[in-house]
Amino acid sequence: MSMDLSRREWLVGGAAVAGTMLASSLSQAQTVPEPNLNPTADNPIRAGFNENVYGHSLRAKKVMLEAAEKAHLYDFGSQMQLKNVIAQMENLPGDHIAIGNGSTPFLERAAFACAIAGGKVLAPAPTYNSVLGTARMLGIESITVPVGEDLHIDLAAMRAAMTDDVKLVYLCNPNNPIPSIIEKNALRDFCIEMSKKAMVLIDEAYYEYVDNPDFASMKDLVTEHQNIIICRTASKIHGFAGVRIGFAFAHPDTMKKISSPFNISLANVAVAGAVESYQDTEYMNFVKQKNRECMDILEKMFEDLNLRYVKSNSNFAFFHAGRPSTEVAQELRKHHIWSGRPFQPYTDWVRMSTVKPEEMQYVADKYREIFG
Ligand SMILES: Cc1ncc(COP(=O)(O)O)c(C=O)c1O
């Protein structure tokens, strides 16, 4: 780690500490962990799962440890607190917000609601698999619409594929595994139009990473349009993938179909951590900056090796390796680097998640060494 970097990382930790008067017993946790430049089978570089390898913000970590002391109690107070934080941040009424154990429960329940309505799902391909996988499990049909030549979601083709029996339209924006976005005005029109015929679910799992004037969250639509659901997650920029917090934004009548009437299944540790994490803009900016540094490293490698790639709006890249992604994964695994799984039909493209910039440079160096 360079002195410059460690100093900057210390500053982020230090400011967070000052803000929350972290107990001295936690002082070890003040520094951002060292990058993993000697990966092993037990401690690989995890560039395969779109996680935040920096973990939680120090502010979140502190309150989570405190909340663990009260984990034997039902805790409805902190749920209200979290809802208020999100309501204020997003400028939404509290009754339009539901909290879940990640966003997956909402994605799954939307598929359940579609099945109950006896309908089909309409979605682009490739995209995130939760809704389509649940639909498959429930035995309901899905209509999938290939992304365009430019690998962007093709709204015109989706419109053309819409039928009367589609009861759920799923869009992931930014998409996954292709980190493209849908232009905001076109998406807004599409959502409003489709919501007259079916439920529309926009999965904004990666929205915090987007730095693109053509992007906008569709969250504002939920107050005016009953059939629109927005899903968000703390699993990405907040590092809560293993802690589990996510959100749905929707009209209260729609919320009844996709959320529990009595939310007893949230973990108090997770909720308390999220209250803090969502207010820690310094940490979010830090992670976003590190993500940008990683993306610069990857994009330089793509340019140098003349590999086609999709400009990323997220915490992962998608590039044309020109060889099976299984082969890339296998070779990188020999060096204890994990990369993304294959995504049909783009089996010679690779999804690579960002890690810490030093680790990303290590990955890029190894990639050049093996395939360059
Ligand atoms: C687009 C998308 N939505 C949802 C999820 C799952 O989120 P959660 O951990 O909140 O259940 C992921 C996880 O990778 C994802 O990529």
Q: What is the pLDDT at residue 208?
A: 98
Closest CA to 110 of 284, 235, 282, 228: 228
Indicate the average pLDDT of the chain. Answer: 92
312 Cβ inside 6 Å of ligand 1 = no
What would the mean pLDDT of 136-152 be, rounded to a whole number? 97
124 Cβ inside 6 Å of ligand 1 = no
Distance 65 CA to ligand 1 centre (A): 25
241 Cβ inside 6 Å of ligand 1 = yes
Distance 360 CA to ligand 1 centre (A): 22
Tell me the best of 176, 210, 343 to mutate to test the pocket of ligand 1, counting ligand atoms within 8 Å of each CB and taking the most. 176
Q: What is the pLDDT at residue 7?
A: 32
Distance 97 CA to ligand 1 centre (A): 18
| Position 204, amino acid | E
Strands (DSSP E) contained in 236-302 are 246-249
Domain limits, CATH 3.40.640.10, in the chain? 66-277
205 Cβ inside 6 Å of ligand 1 = yes
314 Cβ inside 6 Å of ligand 1 = no
Q: What is the pLDDT at residue 260?
A: 84
172 Cβ inside 6 Å of ligand 1 = yes
Closest CA to 16 of 2, 34, 30, 36: 30
8 A C-beta contact, residue 181 and residue 146: no
8 A C-beta contact, residue 57 and residue 240: no
What would the mean pLDDT of 19-27 be, rounded to a whole number? 37
Residue the block writes with tokens 């920029």? 237
Tell me the best of 128, 131, 171, 172 to mutate to test the pocket of ligand 1, counting ligand atoms within 8 Å of each CB and taking the most. 128
Q: What is the pLDDT at residue 261?
A: 78
Residue 148 has pLDDT above 50, yes or no: yes
What would the mean pLDDT of 153-163 be, rounded to a whole number? 98
For 276-316, what is each residue's pLDDT tens digit? Answer: 999 999 999 999 999 999 999 999 999 999 999 999 999 99
What would the mean pLDDT of 262-268 be, rounded to a whole number? 87
Tell me the best of 46, 104, 315 to mutate to test the pocket of ligand 1, counting ligand atoms within 8 Å of each CB and taking the most. 104
For 88-100, what is each residue's pLDDT tens digit? Answer: 999 999 999 999 9
What would the mean pLDDT of 344-356 be, rounded to a whole number? 97
57 Cβ inside 6 Å of ligand 1 = no
Chain-centroid distance of CA 310 in Å reads 17
Query: Tokens in use for 315?
Result: 């915490």
Residue 152 CB neighbours (<10 A) = 16
Taking the C-alpha atoms of residue 300 and residue 131, their distance in angstroms, rounded to an integer, is: 34
Residues composing the chain? 372
pLDDT band, very low/low/confident/very high, at 12 (cuts 50, 70, 90)? very low
Query: Tokens in use for 124?
Result: 């682009």
Domain limits, CATH 3.90.1150.10, in the chain? 33-57+280-371
Task: Please tell me what DSSP assigns to residue 38.
Answer: S
> Per CATH, is 33-57+280-371 categorized as 3.90.1150.10?
yes
Checking DSSP bridges between strand 349-353 and strand 316-320, what pairing results, if any? antiparallel
Residue the block writes with tokens 């990369």? 339
Strands (DSSP E) contained in the chain are 45-46, 97-100, 120-125, 142-146, 166-172, 199-203, 228-233, 246-249, 309-310, 316-320, 337-338, 349-353
For 174-212, what is each residue's pLDDT tens digit? Answer: 999 999 999 999 999 999 999 999 999 999 999 999 999
**Residue 235 Cα: closest atom of ligand 1:** 9
Residue 219 CB neighbours (<10 A) = 21
Bigger pLDDT: 6 vs 39: 39
CA dihedral 305, 306, 308, 313 (to 10 degrees): 60
Residue 6 has pLDDT above 50, yes or no: no
Q: What is the pLDDT at residue 85?
A: 98
Query: Tokens in use for 78?
Result: 């902190």
pLDDT band, very low/low/confident/very high, at 347 (cuts 50, 70, 90)? very high
CA dihedral 344, 345, 350, 352 (to 10 degrees): -50
pLDDT band, very low/low/confident/very high, at 237 (cuts 50, 70, 90)? very high
Query: Tokens in use for 310?
Result: 């999709």
Q: What is the pLDDT at residue 336?
A: 98
Distance 234 CA to ligand 1 centre (A): 9
Chain-centroid distance of CA 251 in Å reads 22
Taking the C-alpha atoms of residue 232 and residue 235, their distance in angstroms, rounded to an integer, is: 9
Residue 105 has pLDDT above 50, yes or no: yes
Distance 315 CA to ligand 1 centre (A): 12
* Cβ burial, residue 288 (10 Å; 0-12/13-18/19+): middle
Residue 11 has pLDDT above 60, yes or no: no
Residue 16 has pLDDT above 80, yes or no: no
Neighbour-count burial for 123-145, b at 16+ CB within 10 Å, e otherwise: bbbbbbebbbebbeeeebebbeb
8 A C-beta contact, residue 300 and residue 307: no
- Give the range among 126-140, 252-266, 323-337, 353-367 with minimum mean pLDDT: 252-266
- The domain 66-277 is placed in CATH, from the list 3.40.640.10, 3.40.190.150, 3.90.1170.50, 2.60.120.10, at 3.40.640.10
Checking DSSP bridges between strand 228-233 and strand 166-172, what pairing results, if any? unpaired
| Percent of the chain whose predicted confidence (pLDDT) is above 90 | 88
In three-state form (DSSP H/G/I as H, E/B as E, the rest C), the secondary structure along 125-187 is ECCCCHHHHHHHHHCCCEEEEECCCCCCCCHHHHHHHCCCCEEEEEEECCCCCCCCCCCHHHH
**Residue 241 Cα: closest atom of ligand 1:** 9
Q: What is the pLDDT at residue 23?
A: 38
Query: Tokens in use for 67?
Result: 């909340």
**Residue 206 Cα: closest atom of ligand 1:** 1
Q: What is the pLDDT at residue 4?
A: 34
First to last CA, the chain: 25
8 A C-beta contact, residue 365 and residue 69: no
Q: What is the pLDDT at residue 76?
A: 80
What would the mean pLDDT of 161-173 be, rounded to a whole number? 98
50 Cβ inside 6 Å of ligand 1 = yes
Distance 131 CA to ligand 1 centre (A): 11
**Residue 100 Cα: closest atom of ligand 1:** 10
pLDDT band, very low/low/confident/very high, at 31 (cuts 50, 70, 90)? low
Residue 15 has pLDDT above 70, yes or no: no
Tell me the best of 109, 127, 130, 351 to mutate to test the pocket of ligand 1, counting ligand atoms within 8 Å of each CB and taking the most. 130
8 A C-beta contact, residue 184 and residue 215: yes
Q: What is the pLDDT at residue 9?
A: 40
Distance 314 CA to ligand 1 centre (A): 12
